Structure 1
Protein backbone atom coordinates (compact mmCIF):
# COMPACT_ATOMS: atom_id res chain seq x y z
CA UNK A 1 0.00 0.00 0.00
CA UNK A 2 2.83 2.39 0.85
CA UNK A 3 4.48 1.72 -2.48
CA UNK A 4 1.25 2.60 -4.23
CA UNK A 5 1.07 5.91 -2.35
CA UNK A 6 4.68 6.73 -3.19
CA UNK A 7 4.21 5.88 -6.86
CA UNK A 8 1.03 7.95 -7.00
CA UNK A 9 2.76 10.94 -5.43
CA UNK A 10 5.70 10.68 -7.84
CA UNK A 11 3.36 10.50 -10.83
CA UNK A 12 1.42 13.54 -9.62
CA UNK A 13 4.59 15.58 -9.09
CA UNK A 14 6.00 14.64 -12.49
CA UNK A 15 2.72 15.57 -14.21
CA UNK A 16 2.58 18.93 -12.46
CA UNK A 17 6.17 19.82 -13.36
CA UNK A 18 5.68 18.73 -16.96
CA UNK A 19 2.56 20.87 -17.35
CA UNK A 20 4.28 23.89 -15.78
CA UNK A 21 7.29 23.53 -18.08
CA UNK A 22 5.04 23.15 -21.12
CA UNK A 23 3.08 26.30 -20.23
CA UNK A 24 6.29 28.30 -19.80
CA UNK A 25 7.63 27.02 -23.12
CA UNK A 26 4.41 27.93 -24.94
CA UNK A 27 4.50 31.45 -23.56
CA UNK A 28 8.05 31.88 -24.81
CA UNK A 29 9.22 32.91 -21.36
CA UNK A 30 12.85 32.33 -20.47
CA UNK A 31 13.57 34.41 -17.39
CA UNK A 32 15.93 32.68 -15.03
CA UNK A 33 16.28 35.26 -12.27
CA UNK A 34 15.38 38.89 -12.46
CA UNK A 35 14.43 40.83 -9.37
CA UNK A 36 14.29 44.58 -9.32
CA UNK A 37 14.54 44.99 -5.54
CA UNK A 38 15.13 43.19 -2.27
CA UNK A 39 11.42 43.53 -1.48
CA UNK A 40 10.56 41.61 -4.61
CA UNK A 41 13.02 38.87 -3.72
CA UNK A 42 11.53 38.56 -0.24
CA UNK A 43 8.02 38.47 -1.68
CA UNK A 44 9.10 35.68 -4.04
CA UNK A 45 10.65 33.79 -1.14
CA UNK A 46 7.44 34.19 0.84
CA UNK A 47 5.41 32.80 -2.04
CA UNK A 48 7.67 29.79 -2.38
CA UNK A 49 7.74 29.10 1.35
CA UNK A 50 3.96 29.33 1.66
CA UNK A 51 3.51 27.05 -1.36
CA UNK A 52 5.95 24.42 -0.14
CA UNK A 53 4.55 24.43 3.40
CA UNK A 54 0.97 24.17 2.16
CA UNK A 55 1.94 21.33 -0.16
CA UNK A 56 3.68 19.39 2.60
CA UNK A 57 0.82 20.00 5.01
CA UNK A 58 -1.64 18.71 2.42
CA UNK A 59 0.49 15.60 1.90
CA UNK A 60 0.52 14.94 5.65
CA UNK A 61 -3.22 15.53 5.83
CA UNK A 62 -3.77 13.03 3.02
CA UNK A 63 -1.47 10.46 4.61
CA UNK A 64 -3.26 10.87 7.93
CA UNK A 65 -6.64 10.41 6.30
CA UNK A 66 -5.53 7.30 4.45
CA UNK A 67 -4.00 5.82 7.62
CA UNK A 68 -7.14 6.60 9.59
CA UNK A 69 -9.41 4.97 7.03
CA UNK A 70 -7.21 1.94 6.44
CA UNK A 71 -6.43 1.54 10.16
CA UNK A 72 -9.67 -0.40 10.71
CA UNK A 73 -9.70 0.45 14.39
CA UNK A 74 -6.08 -0.57 15.04
CA UNK A 75 -4.91 1.72 17.88
CA UNK A 76 -1.37 1.95 16.51
CA UNK A 77 -2.49 3.07 13.07
CA UNK A 78 -5.02 5.50 14.52
CA UNK A 79 -2.26 7.07 16.63
CA UNK A 80 -0.01 7.38 13.57
CA UNK A 81 -2.89 9.04 11.72
CA UNK A 82 -3.33 11.51 14.56
CA UNK A 83 0.39 12.34 14.46
CA UNK A 84 0.09 12.99 10.71
CA UNK A 85 -2.94 15.24 11.34
CA UNK A 86 -0.95 17.20 13.95
CA UNK A 87 1.92 17.56 11.50
CA UNK A 88 -0.49 18.90 8.88
CA UNK A 89 -1.83 21.45 11.37
CA UNK A 90 1.71 22.62 12.16
CA UNK A 91 2.45 22.91 8.44
CA UNK A 92 -0.66 24.99 7.78
CA UNK A 93 0.12 27.21 10.80
CA UNK A 94 3.64 27.81 9.49
CA UNK A 95 2.26 28.60 6.04
CA UNK A 96 -0.04 31.19 7.58
CA UNK A 97 2.84 32.69 9.59
CA UNK A 98 5.25 32.85 6.62
CA UNK A 99 4.27 36.43 5.67
CA UNK A 100 5.08 37.50 9.23
CA UNK A 101 8.52 35.92 8.99
CA UNK A 102 9.17 37.72 5.70
CA UNK A 103 8.10 41.02 7.28
CA UNK A 104 10.58 40.44 10.11
CA UNK A 105 13.30 39.66 7.56
CA UNK A 106 12.47 42.88 5.71
CA UNK A 107 12.91 44.78 8.97
CA UNK A 108 16.27 43.11 9.61
CA UNK A 109 17.55 43.69 6.08
CA UNK A 110 16.21 47.23 6.08
CA UNK A 111 14.18 46.87 2.90
Structure 2
Protein backbone atom coordinates (compact mmCIF):
# COMPACT_ATOMS: atom_id res chain seq x y z
CA UNK A 1 0.00 0.00 0.00
CA UNK A 2 1.85 2.99 -1.28
CA UNK A 3 -0.90 5.51 -0.66
CA UNK A 4 -0.54 7.81 2.28
CA UNK A 5 -3.48 8.47 4.57
CA UNK A 6 -3.70 11.97 3.16
CA UNK A 7 -3.94 10.66 -0.43
CA UNK A 8 -6.72 8.26 0.58
CA UNK A 9 -8.70 11.15 2.06
CA UNK A 10 -8.24 13.21 -1.09
CA UNK A 11 -9.28 10.49 -3.57
CA UNK A 12 -13.07 10.54 -2.92
CA UNK A 13 -13.17 14.34 -3.18
CA UNK A 14 -11.37 14.19 -6.53
CA UNK A 15 -13.95 11.75 -7.87
CA UNK A 16 -16.78 13.96 -6.65
CA UNK A 17 -15.17 17.01 -8.24
CA UNK A 18 -14.69 15.16 -11.55
CA UNK A 19 -18.33 14.08 -11.52
CA UNK A 20 -19.47 17.64 -10.83
CA UNK A 21 -17.32 18.96 -13.70
CA UNK A 22 -18.81 16.39 -16.05
CA UNK A 23 -22.31 17.34 -14.97
CA UNK A 24 -21.61 21.01 -15.61
CA UNK A 25 -19.99 20.26 -18.97
CA UNK A 26 -22.64 17.87 -20.34
CA UNK A 27 -25.89 18.69 -18.53
CA UNK A 28 -25.80 22.46 -18.10
CA UNK A 29 -25.74 23.56 -21.78
CA UNK A 30 -28.70 21.40 -22.87
CA UNK A 31 -30.53 22.37 -19.70
CA UNK A 32 -29.99 26.07 -20.38
CA UNK A 33 -31.07 25.64 -24.00
CA UNK A 34 -34.21 23.79 -22.92
CA UNK A 35 -35.00 26.51 -20.40
CA UNK A 36 -34.66 29.23 -23.03
CA UNK A 37 -36.67 27.33 -25.64
CA UNK A 38 -39.45 26.34 -23.27
CA UNK A 39 -40.07 29.88 -22.01
CA UNK A 40 -43.26 30.96 -23.73
CA UNK A 41 -42.61 33.86 -26.04
CA UNK A 42 -46.28 34.82 -25.83
CA UNK A 43 -45.74 35.74 -22.18
CA UNK A 44 -43.46 38.56 -23.27
CA UNK A 45 -45.51 39.75 -26.24
CA UNK A 46 -47.79 42.77 -26.38
CA UNK A 47 -51.27 41.32 -27.01
CA UNK A 48 -52.63 44.50 -28.58
CA UNK A 49 -50.12 44.74 -31.43
CA UNK A 50 -50.31 42.57 -34.53
CA UNK A 51 -47.58 43.03 -37.11
CA UNK A 52 -47.82 41.33 -40.48
CA UNK A 53 -44.48 40.75 -42.14
CA UNK A 54 -45.78 40.28 -45.68
CA UNK A 55 -43.99 42.33 -48.32
CA UNK A 56 -44.82 42.94 -51.92
CA UNK A 57 -43.03 40.91 -54.59
CA UNK A 58 -40.75 43.79 -55.70
CA UNK A 59 -39.66 44.31 -52.10
CA UNK A 60 -38.94 40.59 -51.67
CA UNK A 61 -36.92 40.53 -54.90
CA UNK A 62 -35.02 43.63 -53.80
CA UNK A 63 -34.20 42.01 -50.45
CA UNK A 64 -33.08 38.83 -52.23
CA UNK A 65 -30.86 40.92 -54.51
CA UNK A 66 -29.09 42.52 -51.57
CA UNK A 67 -28.57 39.20 -49.78
CA UNK A 68 -27.40 37.32 -52.88
CA UNK A 69 -24.96 40.06 -53.87
CA UNK A 70 -23.54 40.17 -50.35
CA UNK A 71 -23.12 36.40 -50.07
CA UNK A 72 -21.55 36.11 -53.54
CA UNK A 73 -19.16 38.98 -52.87
CA UNK A 74 -18.14 37.46 -49.52
CA UNK A 75 -17.49 34.03 -51.03
CA UNK A 76 -15.61 35.57 -53.96
CA UNK A 77 -13.45 37.56 -51.54
CA UNK A 78 -12.71 34.38 -49.59
CA UNK A 79 -11.61 32.63 -52.79
CA UNK A 80 -9.46 35.62 -53.78
CA UNK A 81 -7.70 35.54 -50.40
CA UNK A 82 -7.20 31.77 -50.66
CA UNK A 83 -5.78 32.21 -54.16
CA UNK A 84 -3.29 34.74 -52.82
CA UNK A 85 -2.26 32.44 -49.99
CA UNK A 86 -1.88 29.47 -52.33
CA UNK A 87 0.17 31.52 -54.78
CA UNK A 88 2.38 33.01 -52.06
CA UNK A 89 3.08 29.61 -50.50
CA UNK A 90 3.50 27.75 -53.81
CA UNK A 91 7.28 28.04 -53.82
CA UNK A 92 7.46 27.18 -57.52
CA UNK A 93 5.36 23.99 -57.20
CA UNK A 94 3.28 23.79 -60.41
CA UNK A 95 0.43 21.88 -58.73
CA UNK A 96 0.11 24.56 -56.05
CA UNK A 97 0.22 27.34 -58.66
CA UNK A 98 -2.56 25.60 -60.62
CA UNK A 99 -4.57 25.35 -57.40
CA UNK A 100 -4.08 29.11 -56.87
CA UNK A 101 -5.14 29.85 -60.45
CA UNK A 102 -8.29 27.77 -59.98
CA UNK A 103 -9.17 29.61 -56.78
CA UNK A 104 -8.59 32.94 -58.50
CA UNK A 105 -10.80 31.86 -61.41
CA UNK A 106 -13.54 30.90 -58.92
CA UNK A 107 -13.21 34.30 -57.25
CA UNK A 108 -13.62 36.09 -60.56
CA UNK A 109 -16.69 33.99 -61.39
CA UNK A 110 -18.14 34.87 -57.97
CA UNK A 111 -17.57 38.58 -58.52
CA UNK A 112 -19.15 38.28 -61.97
CA UNK A 113 -22.23 36.60 -60.53
CA UNK A 114 -22.47 39.25 -57.82
CA UNK A 115 -22.47 41.94 -60.52
CA UNK A 116 -25.06 40.03 -62.60
CA UNK A 117 -27.34 39.26 -59.63
CA UNK A 118 -29.60 42.31 -60.17
CA UNK A 119 -30.09 41.39 -63.83
CA UNK A 120 -30.83 37.76 -63.02
CA UNK A 121 -33.35 38.75 -60.35
CA UNK A 122 -35.05 41.14 -62.78
CA UNK A 123 -35.45 38.19 -65.15
CA UNK A 124 -36.92 36.09 -62.33
CA UNK A 125 -39.24 38.93 -61.35
CA UNK A 126 -40.40 39.23 -64.97
CA UNK A 127 -41.07 35.48 -65.15
CA UNK A 128 -43.15 35.31 -61.97
CA UNK A 129 -44.88 38.58 -62.80
CA UNK A 130 -44.21 41.46 -60.56
What's the TM-score, normalizing by structure 1? 0.68
Counterpart CA distance in 2 for 1:45 and 1:35 is: 14
Runs of 4+ in structure 1 over 4 Å off: none
Offset of residue 106 of structure 1: 1.2
| Correspondence for 1:88 among 80, 89, 107 | 107
Contact 1:53 1:92 in 2 (8 A): yes
Matched residue count: 79
SS at 2:53 equivalent: coil
Contact 1:35 1:41 in 2 (8 A): no
For the structure 1 residues 82 and 89, does the alpha-carbon distance in structure 2 shift closer, same or farther, using more than 3 Å as the test? same
SS at 1:51 equivalent: helix
Counterpart CA distance in 2 for 1:102 and 1:35 is: 19
Gaps of 5+ in 1: 1-32
Counterpart CA distance in 2 for 1:40 and 1:34 is: 12
Higher helix share: 1
What's the TM-score, normalizing by structure 2? 0.58
Q: Which structure 2 residues correspond to residues 8-27 of structure 1 after superposition, within 5 A?
A: none
| Residue-by-residue CA offset, 1:56-84 (whole Å, 9 max, x unaligned) | 00000000000000111111100100000
